[in-house]
């Protein structure tokens, strides 16, 4: 979505703020021995109390308000009473909020108690990948520069980039044009226009890049069973630079 009015920008900033605060709230809840369903219920209540609605609930049939993905689940983990967080797990919480018809979308990967140095490094490098991409993002340049910067930083650090799941345009639609891969050549994709909203979301695997989808049609796992991390923000791109709406 390209911002055309002050109201567009105001509503997107508000949606982003709600998502940011929802993730901050979610982080305070995460500890061993709680279920992902418990997390989802409290996240849903928080979004509604913030005068928004959960963007993900019933989106293309998704049955929950947040995607909650543990360890080797890359994305789209369905919350369940049977999935109990354990000490040493990592958990990605992906949240969307619809405020007045405008969507914000962001994800963080959190530690459950004390985690291994290897998992901590994966989380840190995934976050760094986002900012490396943002540094390469400019109006008038190819969007592929961002994608390439993310891929190079992940692979330089010994990790792999998921190919099948990508970032996206966002605004009045939760997923809008253009797709924003986390890999590719600097010459790929569109020339970045002014005043565009994007959701940038590196999904980085500790092991190999290959994934598979479980029989529920949603849950995406790494094929090798190694952990994956996810870091996402909704951003607003102008000639003055990049404004991160969910940070």
Residue 80 within a domain = yes
Q: What is the mean pLDDT of the chain?
A: 98
81 within a domain of the structure (yes/no): yes
Report d(CA 113, CA 27) in Å as an integer.
11
Question: What are the DSSP calls for the chain, one per residue?
Answer: -B--SHHHHHHHHHHHHHHHHHHHHHHHH--TT-BHHHHHHHHHHHHHHTT-EESSTTGGG--SSEEEEETTEEE-PPP-TT-B--TT-EEEEEEEEEETTEEEEEEEEEE-SS--HHHHHHHHHHHHHHHHHHHT--TTSBTHHHHHHHHHHHHHTT-EE-SS--EEE-SSSSSEEEEE-SSS-TT-SPBPPTTEEEEE--EEESS-S-EEE-TTS--EEETT---EEE-BEEEEEETTEEEETT-
CATH code of the domain in which 117 resides = 3.90.230.10
Q: Which domain holds residue 92?
A: 6-244
Q: Which pLDDT value is given to residue 25?
A: 98
Q: What's the structural domain count of the chain?
A: 1
Residue bearing tokens 């969307």: 96
The low-confidence residues of the chain, meaning pLDDT below 50, are none
For residue 225, the Cα-to-chain-centroid distance in whole angstroms is: 20
Instruction: State how far the Cα of 234 lies from the Cα of 247, in Å rounded to an integer.
Output: 9
Length of the chain: 247
pLDDT at 187: 97
pTM of the model: 0.96
Answer whether residue 1 is part of any domain.
no
Q: Which of 49, 169, 41 is nearest to 103 (CA)?
A: 169
Residue 78 pLDDT: 98
Share of the chain above pLDDT 90, in %: 100
pLDDT tens digits, one per residue of 65-116: 999 999 999 999 999 999 999 999 999 999 999 999 999 999 999 999 999 9
Mind listing the pLDDT tens digit for each residue in 114-137? 999 999 999 999 999 999 999 999
């Amino acid at each position: 979505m390209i911002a055309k009015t002050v109201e567009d920008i105001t509503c997107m900033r508000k949606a982003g703020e709600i998502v940011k605060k929802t993730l901050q709230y979610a982080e305070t809840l995460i500890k061993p021995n709680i279920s992902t369903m418990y997390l989802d219920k409290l996240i849903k209540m928080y979004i509604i109390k913030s005068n928004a609605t959960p963007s993900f609930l019933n989106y293309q049939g998704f049955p929950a308000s947040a995607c909650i993905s543990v360890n080797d689940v890359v994305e789209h983990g369905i919350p369940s009473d049977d999935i109990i967080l354990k000490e040493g797990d990592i958990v990605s919480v992906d949240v969307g909020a619809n405020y007045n018809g405008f969507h914000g979308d962001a994800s963080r990967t959190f530690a459950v108690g004390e985690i291994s140095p290897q998992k901590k490094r994966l989380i840190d490098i995934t976050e760094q990948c986002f900012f490396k991409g943002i540094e390469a993002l400019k109006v008038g340049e190819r969007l592929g520069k961002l994608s390439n910067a993310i891929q190079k930083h992940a692979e330089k650090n010994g990790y792999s980039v998921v190919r099948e799941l990508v970032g996206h345009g966002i605004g009045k639609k939760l997923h809008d044009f253009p797709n924003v891969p986390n890999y590719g050549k600097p010459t790929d994709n569109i020339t970045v226009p002014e005043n565009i909203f994007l959701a940038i979301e590196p999904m980085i695997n500790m092991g190999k890049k290959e994934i598979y989808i479980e029989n529920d049609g949603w849950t995406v796992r790494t094929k090798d069973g190694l952990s994956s991390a996810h870091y996402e923000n909704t951003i607003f791109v102008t000639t003055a630079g990049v404004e991160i709406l969910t940070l």
